[in-house]
Amino acid sequence: MKRIVRPLLSIVILFSTTVCISKDWNQFRGPRRNGIATESSLLMKWPDGGPTMLWCLEGLGRGFASVSVVEGTIYTTGMIEKTGYLFAIADNGNLKWKKEYGPEWTGSHPGTRTTPTVDGDRLYIMSGQGRIVCLKRDNGDPVWKVDTLDKFHGKNITWGIAESVLIDGDKVFCTPGGKDATIVALNKHTGQTIWTTKGLSNLSAYCSPILYKTAKKRLLFTMVEKLIVCVDSENGKVLWTVPHETRNDIAAVTPFAYCQNRVYFTSHGTGGTMIRFPQDGSNYTELWSSKALDCLHGGVVLQRGLCGSDSKDNWVCQNISTGEVIFQEKLLDAKGSIVCAERMLYCYSEKGTLALVDPWRDGMKLVSSFKISLGTGEHWAHPVVFNGRLYIRHGDALMAFDIKK
């Protein structure tokens, strides 16, 4: 395990500033799974060569997992040889501990996929082999584990299960893709089954679900092999489905839900659909559809409009009410992943370019960019902005950049 610290190369004058500390970034794409960080007092432009790198920790193994950050500790996963490990890292870049949790994905594009979900004093991981593991947050000791593919007669998919599990109340939701068990809810304390969906027999599709709370229901939204799905999270009843055929059965973008009971789904090659539903989730109305933002797996955020990258390496912004394209351009050298903080977009391309983009000026203005040169393999992990830092995972390495003003 190797840690690299980059010292400041010039004298820095310290002054009083306030950084808005959001809720902990406790799961994939943040506390609301929308890729939006509630930060303030961040740099609106980066120095040449990028913001100061505070540290880089190497030795994480193979993987595309992002990070969760809770109470000053950073959690991520990686595969060393054929075994998955959970890493706990202090905010100064020192490794606190690592614990193995079982075999990981060794097929096409080997490595870990899942970002740990942190809930109270527990961590939850779903491996690329479909095993859910619950561990203690303070030391990584195992609490329980369930092989969901075996238990629910599911089947793994071409590039391995890539779902970061969702927790609500006492339930852990996941998608093993079994017959009459496409989606299941487990007891987060014991791993025992609470419910399974009936009438669905679709495989998983690399998608991490979201929960939307109305005055009447707690609705679970996700995408599976051939369908968009809405489920009553209390009892597993399938409220409605929408046919959704995708290229290579990849539906890897977490749905985006917002006020007025609306939810947006998009997939590689297929494009996006905006849906409205009543508070009881009993039916739906399709408001619009568009192929303009057919995102592969980099996610979308809401800032001026729905923003993300398409299958042709364009970076796109769409009007959320109509689907009309506000902006579409090759801002970067490739498509990639996206998060948002303080009205700015943080775009991380699959070729390793990290960019700060202003979606409110000149369409979408590329303000600053630099190349990620450390790490290994594909640039697929989603960036995280939390507590004035930008975290970038690139295979074997995790980097922390200072982006405070």
pLDDT digits (tens, 9 = 90+) for 182-195: 999 999 999 999 99
- The domains of the chain are located at 2-402
Arithmetic mean of pLDDT, 277-299: 97
| Residue 19 contacts residue 360 (beta carbons within 8 Å) | no
What pLDDT is recorded for position 14? 30
Tokens linked to 394: 């690139």
SS3 content of the chain, % helix, strand, coil (to 5): 0, 45, 55
Over residues 63-73, the pLDDT tens digits come to: 999 999 999 99
Percent of the chain with pLDDT over 70: 95
Using alpha carbons, select from 157, 75, 177, 161 the residue that is nearest to residue 112: 161
Q: Which two tokens stand for residue 56?
A: 């880089």
Query: What is the rounded average pLDDT for all residues in the chain?
Result: 94
pLDDT for residue 15: 29
Tokens of 144: 């329980």
315-334: pLDDT as tens digits: 999 999 999 999 999 999 99
More confident: 1 or 24 = 24
pLDDT in tens, 342-362: 999 999 999 999 999 999 988
Q: Give the number of other Cβ atoms within 10 Å of residue 60's Cβ.
A: 28
Q: Could you say which DSSP state residue 181 is in?
A: B
Place of tokens 């870990």: 112
> What is the spatial distance between Cα 308 and Cα 293, in angstroms, rounded to a whole number?
7
**Mean pLDDT value across residues 275-290:** 97
Q: What is the mean pLDDT of residues 266-294?
A: 97
* pLDDT tens profile 366-375: 999 999 999 9
Give the model's pLDDT for residue 11: 29
The identity of residue 133, as a single letter, is V
Model confidence band, residue 21 (pLDDT cutoffs 50, 70, 90): very low
pLDDT > 90 in the chain, percent = 92
CB within 8 Å of 115: residues ≥ 6 apart:
27, 28, 65, 66, 67, 68, 76, 77, 164, 382
> Residue 336's Cα: distance from chain center in Å?
12
Superfamily of domain 2-402: YVTN repeat-like/Quinoprotein amine dehydrogenase (2.130.10.10)
CA distance 223 to 231: 11
pLDDT bin (cut points 50, 70, 90) of residue 12 is: very low
Average pLDDT over residues 87-98: 98
Rounded CA-CA distance 101/133 in Å is 7
User: What pLDDT digit, counting tens, does each position of 235-247 carry?
Assistant: 999 999 999 999 9
Q: What is the pLDDT of residue 2?
A: 67
Residue-level pLDDT at 3:
65
Q: How far is 124 from 143, CA to CA, in rounded Å?
A: 10
The mean per-residue pLDDT over the stretch 51-60 comes to: 98
Q: What is the pLDDT of residue 7?
A: 44
